[in-house]
Amino acid sequence: MEEELRCSHCRRYFEDPILLGCGHSYCRSCALKVSQGPSTTRPCTPGSGHTGSFALSVAGSPLSPQPSSSSEITLLTSGASDTVSLCDQESDKMSIISESDSGVVVSSSRSSRPSSIIGQPLSLSRLPNILTPSTSGLQVGCLSCHKTTYFADESSIVSAPANIAVRNLVQRYSAAQPSCSTPTPSASGAAATAAAGPPPPACEFCSSGDAAEAVPASITCLDCRYSYCSSCAEAMHPPRGPFASHKIVDAAAGSGGAATPRRPLPPPPFGAVGADEARCSTHRADPLTMFCAACKILVCCRCLQDARHTNHDIQALPITCKTQKAELTTTLSQLGEKVKTAKGEIGKLKTLQEALNVNALDFKSAVCIQVDNIIEELQKRKEKLMRTIDEERDRKRRILRDQISRCNAQLARATSLIQFCIELLKEPDPAAYLQISSALIQRSTTADFLWHNDMKTKPEVDSEIVLNLDTKHLQYAIQTLDFAQLKGLLMSTIPTRGDYSQVPSPPVIDAAACSAENNSVTVVWRPRNDGCAIDGFVLEIDNGRDEGCYKEVYSGPEIMCTLDGLHFNTIYSARVKAYNAAGESLYSDPICLQTASVAWFQLTKSASQREIFLSNESHTLTATTIDYQTILGSVAFSKGVHYWEIAVDRFDGNADIVVGVARHSVSRNLMLGKDINGWSMYVDEKRSWYLHNEIHEGRVAGGVRKGDVIGVRLDCDRGTLEFTINDRKRVSEKGTTVAFMSIPRQRFYPAFSINCKAAITVHTAIPCPSSDSE
């Protein structure tokens, strides 16, 4: 937790911390030092590692927000930008081979779709440049999360409210552990400084750190412990307002003695109201006793008479503080369970290293038996095979070691955040806690949502050594003996003693027979009639990012291969080569195939579901009894955002319609949402509610009738599920449009349940609308 109590800029414990828009904190002086304006560029603080890359500013843009006054603080976090980064676009494209890694999984039931072939690969980049709107004012870059917070001007930073909760936590932590105080210069450095005398006073806000370019300071504030030049003093420390009572001396006189460290104000007594922090900025004499839920700010009793808060939901500070503490506690409980599970999975990863050594030794023994049974001429190749196994073992050990290191690092960050939040939950001052509660909830919720992206404990390699010794055509290939998986890598470095003309020619891809259907592609090729024997073919496909990185997806004697589970709206490049005992051919000319832009699917049912009828090319579902049965779509989703609509074709007062998503193991003879494998919205003529594992929640008045359209939006990356009726977002009792949050990251199928002769038609391949939660 100690890392959370240190400023990421100066690496010291927080002194007068202020809250940034990203949820982290900075010392007020550090925020002033690293801030960047539209006309000048401040030098970075030496030793901080900050190069100013997070503090770029472009003024004069029509997109730039303008602050209403110099005292108003404008906080805009780069993480909340409406623009999607390139990294977010590319993070969804992982393996195209593993079913658990691919974005979608397609069942064997699907209809034919037209081919989508794009000939040779394009040389231009497939991703357009994305521009973010510029913002005027000052920008402060956070070194922890690399997000940017915007302030109106330097006065906004100076007058920004202190992060009281973090400040109090630093003081409690320092009091409990005196040895962990803020580091001070070494004794030798102090002695050298004392011998050389105090440095000449310089302005601490406009000097670059170079003594030759230092700007002389004219005054020093004994209360703030800062020195200012004449221009900075007028702009940042005017002799009026809250600075009127500060003691100002000449800069030369103020630098004469030993330097006094800047210390934060002592903590107020338990239960006391701070002079500045807990009093209204508009009505200085009134304490902050209420919280406006609409404006998300603390207000006093006189503020309630203002027209700005008319008809707003006003709550007492203790009630709001208790509610948000309970919300943070729930999120921390979920995150803590995942941390506990991750510890066990990391332990399993460590045991894989030991199993890898054992399996490698066993495999080496098996290979030794094969090699000892071969003629004496193979003895020289034996040692090389042993080295290959060791290299494979070392490669897998490196992969496992790197994976364990990444998981431990993520685990340490999550544990630190949990301890940090738990300590802040002990904050007795409601106003101080509410000042940072939203940021804590956001950080913990983000860590919870992105847990499966950051904590990847699934083994990246297998503990088995999967290498097959090739004994075919042994006498001919005696000088090129190697593991079959490594022949292609080493063929260029091993001289061939046989007739090189026996190596097959490159195959030819039959573009007319190739096709792209939904999120799968079919590649067809044929060998050249050159008289050379062919043992098999190797098909490789790239990752769809135009990076030239290919991966083997098939090896065998067939001349056609269909690949399922690819990403939608992606261009893939494929190539083929042939091989025999003499060696491998060159690659064929590549072909580009593009998957469908959006997902489309049909409805499927089991043979036992005789009371449910499918028509209209398996897009219309009709029920004949009052019993519920669950029908799934033909496509499963595990990544990306997907949307489909359900049109109500027939509906009477006794019928019910249930739509949502489900795992493949959902019970087909129950209503969708009755078991743990289904998430749904139940709707009848008068009302609707959400249903999961037989738990009803979010009941809302108003149902559906014939002709209505129900929309379902599944965001696999964020783990959310939303519903609309006639393009209207359904708002629950809690005031949110998201039906389910934190859905586990697995494969989900579109699912439907109807009864009482109701009929619905599913419309797919629809562009996904935006969401309020994004």
pLDDT digits (tens, 9 = 90+) for 13-44: 888 899 888 888 989 889 888 887 654 444 34
pTM of the model: 0.37
Amino acid at the residue 364: K
Alpha-carbon distance of 20 to 141, in angstroms, equals 9
Q: According to the CATH classification, is domain 603-763 in 2.60.120.920? A: yes
Domain boundaries, the chain: 1-66+136-179, 94-127+499-597, 200-254, 271-312, 317-454, 603-763
Going edge to edge, which strands form the sheet with 226-228? 226-228, 219-221, 248-250
What residues form DSSP beta bridges with 19?
25
Residue 772: its pLDDT value, please? 59
Which residue, 262, 17, 39, is CA-closest to 142?
17
Q: CA torsion angle for 336, 15, 233, 252 (degrees, to 10)?
A: -150
Amino acid at the residue 102: S
Mean pLDDT computed over 185-193: 40
Higher pLDDT, 376 or 642: 642
* Cβ contact 68:137 at 8 Å: no
CB atoms within 10 A of CB 735: 8
What is the tens place of the pLDDT at every residue in 661-672? 999 989 988 999
CATH topology of domain 200-254: 30s Ribosomal Protein S14; Chain N (4.10.830)
What is the tens place of the pLDDT at every residue in 444-480? 898 888 888 888 888 888 788 777 766 555 555 555 5
Cβ-in-10-Å burial (0-12, 13-18, 19+) of 346 comes to middle
Alpha-carbon distance of 683 to 659, in angstroms, equals 9
* Cβ contact 632:666 at 8 Å: yes
CATH topology of domain 1-66+136-179: Herpes Virus-1 (3.30.40)
What Cα–Cα distance (Å) separates residue 659 from each residue in 29, 599, 654? Answer: 55, 18, 17
Which residue, 398, 401, 408, 405, is CA-closest to 343?
408
What Cα–Cα distance (Å) separates residue 450 from each residue in 23, 335, 410, 414, 439? Answer: 16, 11, 11, 11, 16
Residue 55 has pLDDT above 50, yes or no: no
How far the first Cα of the chain sits from its last, in Å, is: 30
Q: What's the sign of the alpha-carbon dihedral 503, 506, 510, 515?
A: positive
Alpha-carbon distance of 96 to 108, in angstroms, equals 17
What is the tens place of the pLDDT at every residue in 306-331? 888 888 888 888 888 888 889 889 99
Alpha-carbon distance of 634 to 456, in angstroms, equals 28
402 phi and psi angles, rounded to 5 deg: -65, -40
- Residues of the chain with pLDDT > 70, as a percent, come to 74
What is the tens place of the pLDDT at every residue in 562-607? 998 787 778 899 999 999 888 889 999 999 998 887 888 999 998 8
What is the tens place of the pLDDT at every residue in 137-153? 788 888 888 888 888 88
The dotted CATH code for 271-312 is: 3.30.160
Residue 370 has pLDDT above 90, yes or no: no
Which residue, 307, 176, 159, 309, is CA-closest to 242?
159
Which residue, 623, 517, 557, is CA-closest to 108?
517
Question: What tokens does 706 get?
Answer: 């014939």
Question: For the domain with range 94-127+499-597, which CATH number is right: 2.60.40.10, 3.30.465.10, 2.60.120.10, 1.10.8.100?
Answer: 2.60.40.10
DSSP 501: G
Residue 39: its pLDDT value, please? 44
> Is-same-fold flag (1-66+136-179; 271-312)?
no
DSSP run (H or E) holding 637:
strand 635-637
686 phi and psi angles, rounded to 5 deg: -115, -25
For the stretch 79-88, contacts whose Cβ atoms lie closer than 8 Å and that sit 24 or more positions apart, written own/partner, are 79/22, 79/145, 79/147, 80/21, 81/132, 81/133, 83/130, 83/131, 83/132, 83/133, 84/130, 85/130, 86/127, 86/130
What residues form DSSP beta bridges with 290?
299, 316
Which residue, 29, 388, 532, 396, is CA-closest to 236?
29
Alpha-carbon distance of 143 to 34, in angstroms, equals 10
* Tally: H helices and E strands in the chain: 12, 36
Which range, 38-52, 380-394, 678-692, is most confident?
678-692
Residue 622: its pLDDT value, please? 93
Of 73-77, 434-438, 460-464, 678-682, minimum mean pLDDT range: 73-77
* Cβ contact 622:613 at 8 Å: yes
- Residues of the chain with pLDDT > 90, as a percent, come to 20
What is the tens place of the pLDDT at every residue in 471-500? 555 555 555 556 665 655 544 444 444 455
